[in-house]
Chains A and B, each alone.
Chain A
Amino acid sequence: DVKVTQSSRYLVKRTGEKVFLECVQDMDHENMFWYRQDPGLGLRLIYFSYDVKMKEKGDIPEGYSVSREKKERFSLILESASTNQTSMYLCASSPRQSGRFEQYFGPGTRLTVT
C-alpha cells in the first residue's frame, strides 16, 4: 500500500514565523503535490513537483515555497506565516505512468496561525 506521511497532524504558529510542512511517500512516485483545503472551496493546488529539484506553481502559490531535494520528500514552506494561511494542508503523490493519474493523500496537517 502506498503510504504518504506528513510531519504533523496539528500545528499552531504565530504570525510572522517560518513554517515547514514535511511530506514523505514510500512508493517511488515521481509526482508530488501540496494542496490547501478550506470549507466550501474544495482543494486548491499550491505547488507540485514532477521530479527531484523540479517545481511548478499551482493555483495559489503566493506566500508559499517548496523544496524537493529527494524523490520521496516534498516540503512546503510558509516564509512568514499569516492568519489567512490557517487551513488544512494536504500532501499527495502519484506515479508518472501513463493512465495512472490517481493521487494518494497524506492525513493532512491542520495549521492554525495566531
Chain B
Amino acid sequence: AQSVTQLGSHVSVSEGALVLLRCNYSSSVPPYLFWYVQYPNQGLQLLLKYTTGATLVKGINGFEAEFKKSETSFHLTKPSAHMSDAAEYFCAVIGGFKTIFGAGTRLFVKA
C-alpha cells in the first residue's frame, strides 16, 4: 500500500534562507508524487508533481522537488524563503483511485 511520511510538522527558516521540506514515500508501483500548499483559510493548491521523466521537477513560486527512487524521497526545496511562503505544505502519492496525503509541514518564515 502507498503511504507518505513528512518529516517535521513544523519548520522555521529566516527570510532569504534555504527551504527544505522532507517527504518519504512508500509505493509498490512507480509513484506519482505531488506537493500541495495551503495558505491560511484556503484550500490546497498544487505546487508541483512528478509522474515520469525528469526527476527534478520545477513548480510555482520558485519551488522544486527531486524524485530519488533509491532513497524513496521527494523533498521540496526553495533557494531563498520569502515571507509569503509561510503556509502548510502537503506531500502526496497516488494510491489507486485515491491520493494519499502526508500529515503536513507548517513552514514559518522569520523576518
Distance between B58 CB and nearest chain A CB, rounded to angstroms = 15
Min Cβ gap A106→B in Å is 5
Interface residues of B in 18-49 (CB under 8 A from A): 32, 34, 36, 41-46, 49
Total chain A interface residues with beta-carbon distance under 8 A: 24
Q: B34 to A107, Cβ gap below 8 A?
A: no
Instruction: State how many angstroms separate the Cβ of B32 from the closest Cβ of chain A.
Output: 5
Q: Which residues on the A side are within 8 Å of B45 (C-beta)?
A: 105
CA distance A4 to B49 in the complex (A): 20
**A48 in contact with B97 (CB, 8 Å):** yes
Q: In the complex where A43-B90, A101-B94 touch, is A107 in contact with B42 (Cβ < 8 A)? A: yes
User: Do B98 and A42 touch (CB < 8 A)?
Assistant: no
- Tell me the complex Cα distance, A58–B97, Å: 10
Q: Is the CB of B43 within 8 A of A105?
A: yes
CA distance A9 to B41 in the complex (A): 9
Q: Is B101 part of the contact surface with A, judged by Cβ < 8 Å?
A: yes
Binding site for B on A (CB under 8 A): 4, 9, 31, 33, 40-43, 45, 48, 50, 56, 58, 90, 92, 99, 101-108
